[in-house]
A and B are shown apart, each in its own frame.
Chain A
Amino acid sequence: MENKINISVNGRAFTAYEGQTIMQALDNLGFKIPRLCYHPRLSIEGACRVCIVEVEGMKNYVASCSFPVSEGMGIYTNTRELRQARRDIVELILDNHPEDCHTCERDGICELQRLAYAMGIRRRHFEGERKHYDEDLSSPSVIRNPDKCVLCGRCVRICSEVQKVNALRYAHRGFGTVVMPAYNMPFSESVCTACGQCINVCPTASFLEKNYTQELFEKLNDKSLVKVAQIAPSVRAAIGEAFGFPPGTAHEGEMAAALRRLGFDHVFDTQFAADLTIMEEAHEFLERLQGRGKLPMITSCSSAWMKFMEQFYPDFIENVSTCKSPMAMMGSILKTYFAEKMKIAPSKLLTAAVMCCTAKKYEARRPEIRVDGVDPVDMVVTTREAAWMIKSAGIDFHGIKPEPFDNPLGHSSGAGAIFGVTGGVMEAAIRTAYELYTGETLLDIEINDIRGLKGIKEGSLVMEGREIRVAVAHGLGNAAELLETVKKDPERYHFIEIMGCPGGCIGGGGQPYAGSNSVPLDEETLKKRAEALYGLDRSRTIRRSHDNPDIQRVYKEFLGRPLSPIAHKILHTRYEAKKPVGIIPKGSIAR
């Protein structure tokens, strides 16, 4: 920490540190000034003015998020006039916001609503002109509703600063200001990667996932269909938060039980398909390592990364593993192997996926993943949508008894569990690739160099005297940075894992909203979710994908061997450069 300085808050003496903003100093001292546009991971915008405080000697109130403390500063946080001014600011924001809280998707979990309550706003004083724009429903993943927007700019900042996608900006000016993609084009035609981080950071319902819950309820009531669900690793690590459990509580068996009560006939585990992915991907890596294919090989599980790569980095297409994502692999196996085994026509099989991700909704519609013209995954719902469905159907998630997943596609190794956290796919792949390559058992299977929330992580291992260098990036901004390194130094790595969201899937765009005592993408929450998955890994007796007996069986009965022609047809995909071309800005640009 920097030099200590003396300040006073509401007349009492306190210590702060030089270089802190007033907000940072007050946060440390136990004063949580109300705020709206501020987010700790993003640049300071100072747009909303909600975080104003009074500073002795200053004519106007100052925004505490952007004003530094100084020696002897006298700060007031709660005077009558200040409280009034702060309330007026929030009332003015509310004035240009629809009065439809009770029918809004984010009712009860909206930052603006919480803020209005905390400010003591019990009726509206200001009635003025209210903006009205059409919703953009074009994207299969993310919908945009400018009417609910309070222009805090968090979406613009996360999209440009953390994800570097730059799909969103403020356009027009004054009362007419709207956050939109270039040319106000439909989201589906923009550079948006469908990662959904704008949804995570939005304080209101200006961004939401495209909701498929009603359609899914319809299908679940259709007796002519066999309904099958799969659930992604990180859903179980986070869904409890939507039911009031503390972050980091794993709900694996509870989810299997809840999905059965929702009406699914079979509940399988995407982690099984994660093991399958590792079988294919580890073999693909070894092929490339032996000169058959381009290095470094880059993982392909993350749908937002897939779209990002095709638009921003098409030069890397040949580097990206041809393996489908675990979700798509599971869907493909369900519509072929499982349908055959159960004697169900694929058209009578409804495959739903519960994912931590909004981009999976996009991926599910990619023509490239179809098998003989059939979509492997019919419907994708996020963790949030699944939590809502469970509540809406009156299922008691607190009292529910855990149940196992169904067989034969329900068993997974510990390696499958850690897919949900940054570094996990790499770690799982190494566990298998090492043993395939050397014929020896890898004793230390927990690879700490590539664990944790550092943006770009590097590691290396030696396989029969050959050094294999690996790198892991999470969040598309970090991915871009890593790829720029690879462009300059193509020999630097052999194997790269990229996940589109901060923290990996545990920080996905479909995960539960931050509660009242947290912020979106809070690092502590992410760490706890990660720990839940590492805990599941440790609790498994089988921790390597190739040791999973169900995996061995599916190869024996159906696929033959990894990378066989039938495996290629069903489990692999392709990519192509797509428009519009994405642009990563060089240097900094003013916003």
Chain B
Amino acid sequence: MPDNNDKALLELKEYINGKKQKENPGSYLIDILHKAQNIYGYLKKDVMDFVAEEMSIPTAHIWGVATFYHYFNLKPIGKYVIAVCMGTACYVKGAQDVLDSLKETLKIGTGETTPDGLFTIQEARCLGACGLAPVVMVNDKIHGDLSHKDIPALVESYRKKGMSSGKDPAE
């Protein structure tokens, strides 16, 4: 169980308590898991255990939900999540090359995080920016009209930013 004095945990507990007042609280499970992921960045085991006990929902059920939806991260994610759009427009404009270049530059695969905790690669379906294809989204920022050759420089710019911000990127 996470530390009870943990501020993050109190926030989650308060959120769960709000949902417990509602009719059929079990139906808010996905919503609660979203909240937990917003707070912690990913769904850790002890947080899922906490949700299970607070909601009286068996952990196997929570695990089933958490693994069903791709949105939920079961492992810690990097400071910068790079989502490569693999939608039709991006794909025909070379998204696969962009993705391959990104994997090669970061030496990780899709869904994985670099050991320094800076980057996670994800594949996305259409991001709705087809006019700029191919695009990648780094956290909330779209980078369009890319070529696979642009990737090393793009990664480098974020790496510099991440190192200079002073915060532990793994947090």
Q: What residues of chain A have their CB less than 8 Å away from a CB belonging to chain B?
A: 160, 166-173, 180-184, 190-191, 580-581, 583-591
Provide the bound-state CA to CA distance between A94 and B62, in Å.
30
Provide the bound-state CA to CA distance between A581 and B48, in Å.
13
Provide the bound-state CA to CA distance between A169 and B45, in Å.
16
Contact B64–A585 (Cβ < 8 Å) = no
Contact A585–B58 (Cβ < 8 Å) = yes
Provide the bound-state CA to CA distance between A173 and B72, in Å.
13
B60 adjacent to chain A (CB < 8 Å) = yes
Partner of A182, one of B24, B63, B68: B63
Q: A interface, by DSSP: helix, strand, loop or mixed?
A: loop
- What residues on A are CB-neighbors of B63 within 8 Å? 169, 171, 180-184
Provide the bound-state CA to CA distance between A405 and B57, in Å.
49
Closest to A181 in B: B60
Contact B60–A585 (Cβ < 8 Å) = no
**17 A-B contacts, Cβ less than 8 Å apart?**
A169-B63, A173-B68, A180-B60, A181-B60, A184-B63, A191-B58, A581-B53, A583-B52, A583-B53, A583-B58, A583-B59, A584-B56, A585-B26, A585-B56, A586-B26, A586-B56, A587-B26
Provide the bound-state CA to CA distance between A301 and B86, in Å.
59
B61 adjacent to chain A (CB < 8 Å) = yes
Closest to B58 in A: A166
Closest to B69 in A: A173
B67 adjacent to chain A (CB < 8 Å) = yes
Provide the bound-state CA to CA distance between A170 and B63, in Å.
9
Partner of B61, one of A169, A183, A586, A587: A169
Contact A168–B60 (Cβ < 8 Å) = yes
Q: What residues of chain B have their CB less than 8 Å away from a CB belonging to chain A?
A: 24, 26-27, 29, 45, 48-49, 52-53, 56-64, 67-68
Provide the bound-state CA to CA distance between A191 and B62, in Å.
14
Contact B62–A182 (Cβ < 8 Å) = yes
Contact A183–B59 (Cβ < 8 Å) = yes
Given contacts A182-B59, A191-B58, 15 further A-B contacts (CB under 8 A): A167-B60, A169-B61, A170-B68, A171-B67, A180-B63, A181-B60, A182-B60, A183-B63, A583-B57, A583-B59, A585-B56, A585-B58, A586-B26, A587-B24, A591-B61
Provide the bound-state CA to CA distance between A166 and B64, in Å.
12
Partner of B27, one of A166, A172, A584, A590: A590
A172-B68, A182-B62, A182-B63 are contacts. A585–B45 as well, Cβ < 8 Å?
no
Partner of A589, one of B49, B57, B67: B57
- What residues on A are CB-neighbors of B53 within 8 Å? 581, 583
A169-B64, A170-B64, A172-B67 are contacts. A580–B26 as well, Cβ < 8 Å?
no
Nearest Cβ in chain B — how far from A477, in angstroms?
13
Contact B26–A182 (Cβ < 8 Å) = no
Provide the bound-state CA to CA distance between A169 and B29, in Å.
16
Nearest Cβ in chain A — how far from B96, in angstroms?
21
Nearest Cβ in chain A — how far from B167, in angstroms?
29
Nearest Cβ in chain B — how far from A531, in angstroms?
36
Nearest Cβ in chain B — how far from A585, in angstroms?
6
Closest to B59 in A: A182
- What residues on B are CB-neighbors of A180 within 8 Å? 60, 63
Provide the bound-state CA to CA distance between A414 and B140, in Å.
75
- Chain B CB within 10 A, most for which of A183, A190, A584: A183
- What residues on B are CB-neighbors of A583 within 8 Å? 52-53, 56-59
- What residues on A are CB-neighbors of B27 within 8 Å? 590
Provide the bound-state CA to CA distance between A169 and B64, in Å.
6
- What residues on B are CB-neighbors of A170 within 8 Å? 64, 68
Contact A166–B61 (Cβ < 8 Å) = yes
Nearest Cβ in chain A — how far from B113, in angstroms?
19
Nearest Cβ in chain B — how far from A190, in angstroms?
8
- What residues on B are CB-neighbors of A580 within 8 Å? 49, 59
Closest to A182 in B: B59
- What residues on B are CB-neighbors of A191 within 8 Å? 58-60
Provide the bound-state CA to CA distance between A184 and B62, in Å.
12
Closest to B56 in A: A586
Nearest Cβ in chain A — how far from B76, in angstroms?
15
Provide the bound-state CA to CA distance between A363 and B56, in Å.
28
- What residues on A are CB-neighbors of B61 within 8 Å? 166, 169, 585, 589, 591
- Chain A CB within 10 A, most for which of B29, B48, B58: B58
Closest to B1 in A: A581
Contact B26–A160 (Cβ < 8 Å) = no
Provide the bound-state CA to CA distance between A588 and B68, in Å.
20
A583-B52, A589-B26 are contacts. A182–B67 as well, Cβ < 8 Å?
no
Provide the bound-state CA to CA distance between A484 and B45, in Å.
28
Nearest Cβ in chain B — how far from A191, in angstroms?
8
Closest to A190 in B: B60
Provide the bound-state CA to CA distance between A457 and B118, in Å.
61
- What residues on B are CB-neighbors of A173 within 8 Å? 67-68
- What residues on B are CB-neighbors of A183 within 8 Å? 45, 48, 59, 63
